[in-house]
Structures are given as structure tokens and as C-alpha cells.
Amino acid sequence: MKLAVVKGNVVSTIKTESHQRYKLMIVQPVDHNGKPLGKDTMIAADGSQAGIGDTVLIVEEGGSVRQILGNKKAAIDAVIVGIVDTWE
């Protein structure tokens, strides 16, 4: 699992069937101090009703993501599995 901050939503009028029921979010991985890890963002399916600005936990491994989503055919590499309130 990784910490990340939600930066935005992805709006798509046409999606593959495996993406139809998922909200897609743009996330920026961060370190334990909340500082961005590099400049790259990624797209993650939202499994936790996250919003822009939320710090979240993401799982970034296809097999685990498919198991979490309960969809063996999903073409999704990352999923938001929780919203972080605080950490130490």
C-alpha cells in the first residue's frame, strides 16, 4: 500500500466495460511527511468515496486490485482502499 493525495477526477463518457461502475481519480503518491514522491501522478479506481484533497491509501498491483474489486477481468492497476484521517 502507498499513501497518496487525490488531485482530481477523471471524466470519461466512454469507458471499457470493466471500468463502467468505478469513479476514476488522479492521485499523487506522497511520502510519510505528505511530500510528493516525484512528479508523476496516476489514475486509481475509487473504492472509498474519496474526494479531491483527501489523503488516501492505494493498492497498486493488478492481481490484488482485481481481488479487492471482485472483478477478475478488470483492467485496473490501482485502487483507493481507504481515506486517511491521520498518521504518525
Each residue's pLDDT tens digit, 53-68: 999 999 988 778 777 7
**CA–CA dist 5, 83 (Å, integer):** 10
Q: How is residue 9 written as a grid cell?
A: 477526477
Q: Which residues of 28-56 are buried (b: 16+ CB within 10 A; e: fewer)?
A: bbbeeeeeeeeeebbebbbbbebeeebbb
Q: Residue 35: inside a domain, yes or no? A: yes
Please give the helix or strand (H or E) that residue 67 lies within, else none: helix 62-69
| C-alpha to C-alpha distance for 35 and 31, rounded to whole angstroms | 5
Residue 24 included in any domain: yes
State the pLDDT at residue 72: 80
Q: Is 88 inside a domain boundary?
A: no
Looking at the structure of the chain, the number of domains it has is: 1
User: Could you read off the pLDDT of 11-41 as tens digits, one per residue?
Assistant: 988 888 777 788 899 999 999 999 999 889 9
Q: Between 86 and 47, whose confidence is greater?
A: 86
CATH number of domain containing 79 = 2.40.50.220
Answer yes or no: pTM beyond 0.85.
yes
Range of the domain at 63: 2-83
